[in-house]
Amino acid sequence: MRLPRILAPRVSASAHCDLPCGVYDPAQARIEAESVKMICEKYQANTDPEFRTRAILIKEQRAELVKHHLWVLWTDYFKPPHFEKYPHLHQLFNEATKLAGAAGAKGATEPAKADELLQKIDEISKIFWETKQA
């Protein structure tokens, strides 16, 4: 019966996120969202069907990455105390991920839709940096 005690950890650590802070940043989502906007602009300026097809494929990949980076922040970085202090944060993430999805920038080719997404990311970023100050 000594084996379980021998294998038990001797030191425990805790952090409010998966790794010590410094690995999360909304800039990752913003970079991908800026790519989405630029692709939309190039799509609008070009009538070549092959170019447009490639643009849509790449834009959808970038939009999927925006969603991924937002979900990581939402689920891994932000914790209950953040959501208590910023009660609209869940709604903000919901709106942002929808704007990155099929009903938003992923499914649209208008730069204005990407601008809406960028505005939501900026709101999330503002809150993120406020939490880093605390």
Interatomic CA distance for residues 86 and 94, integer angstroms? 14
pLDDT top residue among 5 and 63: 63
CA 114 to chain centre: 14
Say which amino acid occupies 134. Answer: A
With cut-offs at 50, 70 and 90, classify the pLDDT of residue 12: low
| Residue 134 confidence (pLDDT) | 72
pLDDT, tens only, 38-91: 999 999 999 999 999 999 999 999 999 999 999 999 999 999 999 999 999 999
pLDDT, tens only, 32-49: 999 999 999 999 999 999
In the chain, the domains with their CATH numbers are: 23-133 (1.20.120.400)
| Residue 133 confidence (pLDDT) | 86
| Residue 1 confidence (pLDDT) | 57
Assign residue 22 a region (left: φ > 0; alpha: ψ between -120 and 50; beta: otherwise). left
| Residue 8 confidence (pLDDT) | 66
| Cβ neighbours of residue 7 closer than 8 Å, sequence gap 6 or more | none
